[in-house]
């Protein structure tokens, strides 16, 4: 017995020690495997960042992604990213296959992507209106792959790394210890090439350059203003027919795709004046080069000579106040106010001005949530109460515009780093670039006076919201009444409603106005996840990596998407209910095991089978989708009872099959209960937790059989047990283990696992030896004198069958 006690103590020490040192040992193996990696440093490049061993997991939600970040300084002409992924084999089973690793690279914040194919929720901003996401795919086969970004924006770049998403419903349920234990790791570094030949100039003075020194690079710093800047460029000693190309870009060197100004002019001119709207408080890079051949595809710099680049003279910039809520990613922006309850801003604006509102999103601390921008036109009370002032959807008529309710529209633009000019067409203009506006609010339609947009993982930097309203100059030829004070768009309304007054009025053109004013309600707020929650079908959680924090939605009950509102892949309620019934009711077959154990006088074993049946039934009822789940206690308690009861059932069955005295059997049962409890607590999903007690039980079984046969020179149990019952029980157990270990997938789990319950319960009926009763007893019927009560007489046999052996 002392040996057994020492064995228990040894197992405790080994389990605790292994749990503490496993992570450290894995880390050492990763470092050793990566010693083969050597960075090839290119000429004129500087290695600035390296991440040696980043764990990569299959995408399930943003909880399973890995994020690495890189710092890029200014004046960089090439950022060369190197990625290498490989598989770390953690055990000696099988081999590891290369995985498809996806890398999303973005400047300013975490990439907002949906690798699982769910649609973005309503109100999410169009991805095309944000910083572009660079996506590349590599295999975890140990090969290097480089990715170059020319003239990148300075600041922090973030890489989102994960194994390509696969539908979990089609994946196998793998048992630990039966399959290769593979961990995907990523090595990445960043090399940059810096442009050293950049001349520092004053943005507000001219540039004079000798033609022989072309091409040339210049940079200058703008002031905190968005007023146009005019630069005079003079080329001296020009002697050829080549054309000069002038490119200008803010924050980074210009490229073929990214620039503020890209124009051409004749170098023989005395000077060329170019006017542009700058980024406030930013470096601006000017590239002057020669162009040979046709320049028709490039704008003429003469078009930038005008000083009236902006048709609005009255421009105002207001700084928003930040209202912190002292929770992760929870804050508001608004005009400075002493009201601590509401940071919503009321912006009064006229048609002769543009108002720009700006606020700052900080690096790291602000980019992990979602930014919500809501806006609305503040209309009179009559607008909402009088049916004639809003669109009647049923009749399809836009009715009754009066002179005391102006017709106008508000155009709102959003930009990062610079403001733009709202246009009447519903677009935003910044120098020569035109893009759709963020909001276009129309006072003639109650459905379009409100707008909302949600921006997940907002980019760090200074954000600008530019507002402008446009008055009604001419609406349409309209029917009039009340001496021309009311105008009706739909003349069919009078015929439909039988209004004689309106039907007698002729068509007239409604005159508009050139001056109008309005009040715009604006709310800018940040919260975790989506609006601070995940609809009603998920939990808003936080995940950290390398000191950075990100919020995400963890969906339940089959829901998906950014806010757990997408139910396109959710099973029907009937299917979920049937699945739960399969998993729970299949355990009722253990009643047969309990019955057989009782009539064969195995009372301890019967209690263990009943224990397993109860915990497995309630665990699967609790582990079901939330729509049909039922938990009597916490799920982790039920899960422990399920796994513990299953292992103990194997253990006590093997001991019952062994030929040992009751004293030793009870001792073995107690020792097994302690060891199996430790193993289940350590890792209930580990193959070791299952194999160890079963292997020890098989050894005890075989040794006891051998010693008994050696002593008595005969088999202890009847021949039918060895030739019929035990082989049949072993076949059932083998089939059940194969189903449990190799055939389960997420799709067929309900059926296969239910089959596992039934087949294991049925195998006990054949494996328990019937040796505690009379030799001629029927193994499936109680003994005649088993119970003396009247209701037990139904089990009495009319005759005792003869044994065949």
Interval 39-51: pLDDT, tens: 788 889 999 999 9
What mean pLDDT is reported for the chain? 82
Cα separation of 519 and 350, whole Å?
9
pLDDT of residue 379: 74
What is the pairing mode between strands 272-276 and 314-319? unpaired
Q: Residues 91-98: what's their mean pLDDT?
A: 82
Q: Do residues 105 and 173 both lie within one domain?
A: yes
**Is the pLDDT score of 679 beyond 60?**
yes
User: What pTM did the predictor assign?
Assistant: 0.79
Distance in angstroms (rounded) separating the CA atoms of residues 774 and 415: 90
- Residues 217-224, mean pLDDT to the nearest whole number: 93
Radius of gyration of the chain (CA): 39
Q: Which residue has the tokens 């601590």?
A: 340
Out of 150, 167, 194, pick the residue that ends a domain.
194
Whether the Cβ atoms of residue 684 and residue 666 lie closer than 8 Å to each other: no
| Residue 557 and residue 583 in one domain | no
d(CA 493, CA 490): 6
Does 556 lie in the same domain as 518?
no
Question: What is the number of structural domains in the chain?
Answer: 5
Asked if residue 164 is part of any domain, the answer here is: yes
Q: Which residue has the higher pLDDT, 226 or 15?
A: 226
pLDDT tens, residue by residue, 420-477: 999 988 999 998 889 999 999 987 766 778 899 999 999 999 999 999 998 876 555 4
| DSSP one-letter string for 251-273 | SS---SS--SEEEEE-TTSS-EE
Query: Phi, psi at residue 632, to the nearest 5°?
Result: -85, -30
- Give 565-598 as a DSSP string: -B-TTPPPHHHHHHHHHHHHHGGGGHHHHHHHHH
Q: What is the CATH number of the domain that holds 294?
A: 2.60.40
CATH of the domain at 415: 2.60.120.380
Instruction: Flag the least confident range among 22-36, 121-135, 443-457.
Output: 22-36
In this structure, is residue 798 part of a structural domain?
no
Residue 219's φ and ψ, nearest 5 degrees, are -145, 150
Do 562 and 602 have their domain in common? no
Query: What pLDDT does 785 receive?
Result: 65
Does 393 have pLDDT greater than 50? no
Q: How far apart are CA 114 and CA 127, in angstroms?
A: 11
By CB atoms closer than 10 A (0-12, 13-18, 19+), residue 732 is buried
> Residue 21, exposed/middle/buried by CB under 10 A (0-12, 13-18, 19+)?
exposed
Confidence label for 494 from pLDDT (cuts 50, 70 and 90): very low
Helix (H) or strand (E) holding 762: helix 749-767
Compute φ and ψ for 76, nearest 5 degrees.
Answer: -90, 130
> How many CB atoms are located within 10 Å of the residue 345 CB?
22
Q: Report pLDDT for 390.
A: 43
Comparing C-alpha atoms, which of 131, 139, 178 is closest to residue 157? Answer: 131
SS3 labels along 353-364: EEEEEEEEECCC
pLDDT-derived band of residue 66, with 50, 70 and 90 as boundaries? very high
- Asked whether residue 744 falls in the same domain as residue 691, the answer is yes
Domain assignment present for 118? yes
Q: What is the pLDDT of residue 500?
A: 46
Of 282, 304, 326, which marks where a domain is finished?
Answer: 304
Q: Report pLDDT for 719.
A: 83
Range 70-74 average pLDDT: 94
- Residue ranges with strand state E in 124-260: 134-139, 141-150, 155-163, 182-194, 199-200, 207-210, 216-221, 229-236, 243-250
Whether residue 793 has pLDDT greater than 70: no
* pLDDT at position 803: 45
On whether both 404 and 544 belong to a single domain, the answer is: no
Q: Which of 458, 493, 527 is the last residue of a domain?
A: 527
Q: Residue 176 — pLDDT band, cuts 50, 70, 90?
A: low
pLDDT given at position 419: 93
pLDDT of residue 457: 95
pLDDT at 400 over 50: no
Could you tell me which residues come within 8 angstroms of residue 344 by beta carbon, excluding any fewer than 6 positions away?
334, 521, 522, 523
What token pair was written down for 43?
């000429």
* Res 137 pLDDT > 80: yes
Under 8 Å between Cβ of 648 and 641: no
Q: Is the confidence at residue 490, as pLDDT, over 80?
A: no
- The rounded distance, in Å, linking the Cα atoms of 164 and 103 is 10
pLDDT at 661: 85
**Mean pLDDT on 145-172:** 90
Rounded Cα distance, 629 and 632, in Å: 10
In a domain, 799, yes or no: no
Phi then psi dihedrals of residue 574, to 5 deg: -65, -45
Cα separation of 69 and 670, whole Å? 54
Same domain for 458 and 329, yes or no, is yes
Q: Looking at residue 481, what is its pLDDT? A: 52
Cβ atoms of 287 and 264 within 8 Å: the answer is: no
* pLDDT at res. 223: 93
Helix (H, G, I), strand (E, B) or coil at 174: coil
| C-alpha count within 13 angstroms, C-beta hemisphere, residue 362 | 12
Give CA–CA dist 800/138, Å, rounded.
73
Q: Is 599 helix (H, G, I), strand (E, B) or coil?
A: helix
Do 645 and 616 touch, CB atoms closer than 8 A?
Answer: yes
Query: Is the pLDDT higher at 11 or at 718?
Result: 718
Residue 6: pLDDT over 60? no
Is residue 347 situated within a structural domain?
yes
Q: Are strands 272-276 and 345-350 parallel, antiparallel or unpaired?
A: unpaired
Q: Which domain holds residue 403?
A: 315-473+512-527
Q: Per the domain annotation, does 589 fall within a domain?
A: yes
Q: Which residue has the higher pLDDT, 166 or 747?
A: 166
Task: Quick: pLDDT tens for 588-618.
Answer: 999 999 999 998 888 999 999 999 999 999 9
Task: Give which of 543, 537, 544 is closest to 561, Cα–Cα.
Answer: 537
Kindly compute the dihedral angle of the four CA atoms of residues 491, 494, 496, 499, in this order, to the nearest 10 degrees: 180
User: Does residue 638 share a domain with residue 605?
Assistant: yes
Distance CA 455, CA 295 (A): 40
Q: Is position 435 within any domain?
A: yes
Whichever domain contains 729, its CATH number is 1.20.1070
Together in a domain, 152 and 296: no
Q: Residue 159 in contact with residue 103, Cβ under 8 Å? A: yes
pLDDT bracket for residue 113 (50, 70, 90): very high
Q: CB of 62 within 8 A of CB of 543?
A: yes
Mean pLDDT over residues 674-701, rounded? 86
Contacts of 367 (CB under 8 A, 6+ apart): 108, 109, 110, 361, 457, 458, 459, 460
| pLDDT higher than 50, residue 370 | yes
On the question of pLDDT at 791 being above 50, the answer is: no
CA torsion through residues 106, 107, 113, 119, sign: negative
Within 66-181, strands assigned E span: 66-72, 76-89, 100-107, 134-139, 141-150, 155-163
Mean pLDDT value across residues 258-265: 90
Q: Are residues 638 and 672 in the same domain?
A: yes
Q: Do residue 290 and residue 320 come from a single domain? A: no
What span, in angstroms and rounded, lies between the C-alpha atoms of 284 and 2? 81
Is the previous residue joined to 215 through a cis bond, with omega within 30 degrees of 0? yes
How confident is residue 354, by pLDDT bands cut at 50, 70 and 90?
very high
Where does the pLDDT of residue 32 fall: very low under 50, low under 70, confident under 90, or very high at 90 and above? Answer: low
In a domain, 487, yes or no: no
Q: Pairing between strand 461-471 and 353-361?
A: antiparallel
Q: Please spell the DSSP secondary structure of 276-314, one letter per residue.
A: E---TT-EEEEEEEEE-S--TTSEEGGGG--S--SS--E
Q: How far apart are CA 598 and CA 436, in angstroms?
A: 78
Same domain, residue pair 615 and 534: no
| Helix (H) / strand (E) containing 481 | strand 474-481
Give one word for 535, left, alpha or beta, with left for phi > 0 and alpha for psi -120 to 50. left
């Amino acid at each position: 017995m002392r040996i057994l006690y020492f064995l228990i103590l040894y197992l405790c020490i080994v389990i605790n020690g292994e749990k503490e040192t496993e992570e450290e040992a894995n880390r050492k193996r990763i470092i050793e495997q990566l010693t083969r990696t050597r960075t090839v440093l290119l000429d004129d490049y500087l290695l600035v960042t390296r991440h040696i061993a980043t764990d990569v997991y299959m995408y399930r939600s943003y909880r399973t992604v890995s994020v690495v970040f890189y710092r890029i300084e200014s004046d960089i002409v090439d950022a060369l990213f190197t990625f290498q992924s490989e598989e770390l084999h953690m055990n000696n089973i099988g081999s590891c296959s290369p995985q498809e690793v996806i890398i999303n690279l973005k400047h300013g914040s975490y990439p907002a992507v949906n690798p699982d194919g769910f649609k973005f929720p309503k109100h999410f901003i169009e991805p095309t209106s944000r910083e572009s996401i660079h996506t590349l795919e590599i295999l975890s086969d140990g090969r290097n792959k480089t990715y170059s970004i020319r003239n990148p924006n300075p600041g922090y770049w973030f890489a989102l790394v994960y194994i390509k998403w696969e539908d979990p419903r089609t994946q196998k349920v793998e048992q630990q210890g039966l399959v290769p234990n593979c961990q995907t790791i990523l090595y990445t570094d960043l090399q940059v090439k810096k442009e050293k030949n950049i001349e520092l100039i004053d943005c507000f003075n001219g540039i004079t350059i000798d033609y022989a020194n072309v091409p040339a690079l210049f940079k200058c710093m703008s002031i905190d203003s968005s007023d146009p800047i005019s630069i005079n460029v003079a080329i001296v000693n020009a002697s050829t027919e080549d054309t000069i190309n002038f490119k200008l870009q803010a924050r980074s060197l210009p490229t073929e795709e990214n620039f503020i100004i890209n124009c051409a002019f004749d170098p023989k001119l005395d000077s060329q004046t170019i006017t542009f709207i700058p980024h406030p408080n930013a470096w601006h890079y000017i590239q002057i080069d020669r162009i040979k051949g046709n320049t028709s595809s490039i704008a003429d710099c003469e078009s930038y000579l005008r000083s009236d680049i902006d048709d609005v003279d009255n421009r105002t910039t207001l700084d928003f106040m930040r209202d912190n809520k002292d929770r992760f990613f929870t804050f508001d922006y608004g005009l400075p106010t002493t009201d601590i309850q509401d940071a919503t801003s009321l912006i009064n604006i006229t048609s002769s001005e543009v108002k720009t509102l700006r606020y700052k999103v900080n690096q790291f601390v602000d980019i992990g949530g979602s930014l919500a921008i809501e806006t609305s036109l503040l209309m009179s009370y009559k607008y909402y109460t009088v049916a004639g002032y809003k669109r009647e959807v049923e009749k399809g008529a836009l009715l009754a515009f009066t002179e005391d309710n102006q017709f106008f529209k508000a155009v709102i633009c959003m930009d990062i780093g610079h403001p733009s000019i709202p246009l009447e067409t519903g677009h935003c203009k910044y120098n020569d670039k035109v893009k759709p506006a963020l909001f276009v609010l129309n006072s003639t339609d109650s459905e379009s006076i409100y707008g909302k947009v949600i921006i997940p993982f907002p980019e760090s930097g200074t954000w600008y919201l530019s507002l402008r309203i446009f008055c009604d100059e001419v609406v349409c030829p309209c029917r009039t009444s009340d001496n021309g004070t009311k105008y009706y768009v739909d003349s069919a309304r009078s015929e439909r409603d039988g209004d004689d007054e309106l039907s007698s009025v002729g068509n007239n053109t409604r005159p508009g106005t050139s001056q109008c004013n309005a009040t715009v309600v604006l709310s800018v707020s940040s919260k975790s996840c989506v609006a601070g929650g995940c609809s009603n079908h998920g939990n808003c959680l936080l995940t950290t990596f390398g000191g950075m924090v990100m919020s995400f939605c963890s969906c339940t009950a089959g829901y998906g998407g950014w806010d757990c509102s997408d139910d396109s892949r959710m099973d029907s309620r009937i299917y979920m209910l049937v699945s739960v019934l399969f998993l729970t009711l299949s355990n009722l077959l253990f009643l047969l095991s309990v019955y057989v154990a009782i009539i064969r006088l195995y009372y301890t074993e019967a209690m263990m089978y009943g224990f397993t049946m109860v915990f497995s039934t309630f665990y699967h009822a609790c582990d079901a989708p939330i729509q049909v789940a039922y938990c009597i206690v916490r799920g982790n308690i039920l899960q422990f009872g399920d796994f513990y009861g299953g292992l103990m059932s194997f253990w006590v069955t093997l001991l019952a099959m062994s030929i040992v005295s009751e004293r030793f059997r009870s001792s073995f049962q107690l020792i097994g209960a302690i060891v199996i409890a430790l193993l289940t607590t350590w890792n209930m999903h580990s193959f070791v937790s299952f194999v160890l007690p079963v292997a020890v039980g098989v050894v005890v079984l075989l040794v006891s059989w051998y010693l008994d046969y050696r002593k008595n020179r005969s088999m202890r149990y009847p021949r039918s047990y060895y030739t019929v019952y035990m082989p049949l029980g072993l076949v059932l157990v083998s089939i059940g283990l194969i189903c449990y270990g190799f055939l389960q997938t997420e799709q067929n789990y309900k059926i296969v696992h239910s089959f596992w319950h039934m087949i294991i319960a049925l195998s006990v009926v054949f494996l328990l030896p019937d040796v505690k009763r009379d030799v001629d007893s029927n193994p499936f019927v109680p003994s005649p004198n088993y119970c003396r009560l009247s209701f037990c007489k139904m089990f009495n046999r009319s005759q005792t069958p003869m044994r065949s052996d």
